[in-house]
Amino acid sequence: IVMIFDECTPYPATEPVARTSMELSLRWAQRSRNAHDELGNDAALFGIVQGGVHHDLRSRSAEGLQQIGFDGYAIGGLAVGEPEHERNAMLDHMHPILPADRPRYLMGVGRPEDLVEGVARGVDMFDCVMPTRNARNGHYFTSFGTVRIRNARYERDMDTIEPGCGCHACTSGYTRSYLRHLDRCNEMLAPMLGTIHNLYYYEKLMADMRAAIAAGTFTAFRESFYTARGMATPAL
């Protein structure tokens, strides 16, 4: 996968600023398409929808990108500080106007909850630094929430990060107590094991969602995801 060159506006961006940026990104999209074709590159070229939180600009961006034609469509310019409800509202807006036969990629997102809500709104793929960055800060993702390993409650906790997890860190028997010790001593092994676990968790979460979609049980999966965390299931 290769991405076109685009401009991401900050949040908040006024309509004139977002419009000028979106139009620039569309011009760059055409140039990226032309260069990609001239080079004979066989990688999948993705367009990137921009327009800030302005629905009409997002619609114009999506329409312009589809006129150019791309292998997939990314939704950029989100996860830049906007409230979660605005991001989800934009994904709801984008769902019917992007082609159903092309993959959809939400850029820079995010938390496990963001992945579930994105998939619920038609998103296929994501990228984010959270699995690695959070591991460096002692935050490990699990099906019941986040284990913040620096918390004193884990000082003598002999469980693995998530009992039953199939990642190398958990199957090798590294305990929360030991991981906390490594983290407090600034040992590189702590973020390494945390990263292994977090990436495994994210990959399994996506695999579980694919299986639920194939089985027609995604709604039930989404509800159980939040129940396991002691959270209310957000309205769609």
User: Is the same domain home to 141 and 221?
Assistant: yes
Of all residues in the chain, the percent with pLDDT exceeding 70 is 100
Domain residue limits at 137: 129-236
Q: Is residue 228 within 8 Å of residue 143, measured between CB atoms?
A: yes
Cβ-based neighbours of 141, under 8 Å, separated by 6 or more: 112, 131, 134, 147, 197, 198, 201, 202
* Domain-terminating residue out of 68, 103, 128: 128
pLDDT at 43: 98
pLDDT at 161: 99
Count Cβ atoms within 10 A of the Cβ of residue 227 and give its class: 0-12 exposed, 13-18 middle, 19 or more buried.
exposed
pLDDT at 146: 98
User: Is the same domain home to 18 and 93?
Assistant: yes
User: Is the same domain home to 48 and 147?
Assistant: no
pLDDT in tens, 112-132: 999 999 999 999 999 999 999
Average of per-residue pLDDT across 171-187: 99
Of all residues in the chain, the percent with pLDDT exceeding 90 is 100
Average of per-residue pLDDT across 194-212: 99
The alpha carbon of 11 is separated from its chain's Cα centroid by a whole number of angstroms, namely 18
User: Is the same domain home to 102 and 56?
Assistant: yes
**Per-residue confidence band for 111, with pLDDT thresholds at 50, 70 and 90:** very high
Bridge pairing between strands 145-148 and 139-142: antiparallel
Number of domains within the chain: 2
CA angle, residues 71, 103, 131, in degrees to nearest 5 = 120
pTM for the full model?
0.95
* Domain-terminating residue out of 92, 113, 128: 128
User: Is the same domain home to 195 and 120?
Assistant: no
User: Is the same domain home to 119 and 30?
Assistant: yes
Other Cβ atoms within 10 Å of 170 Cβ, number: 23
**Per-residue confidence band for 36, with pLDDT thresholds at 50, 70 and 90:** very high
User: Is the same domain home to 13 and 29?
Assistant: yes
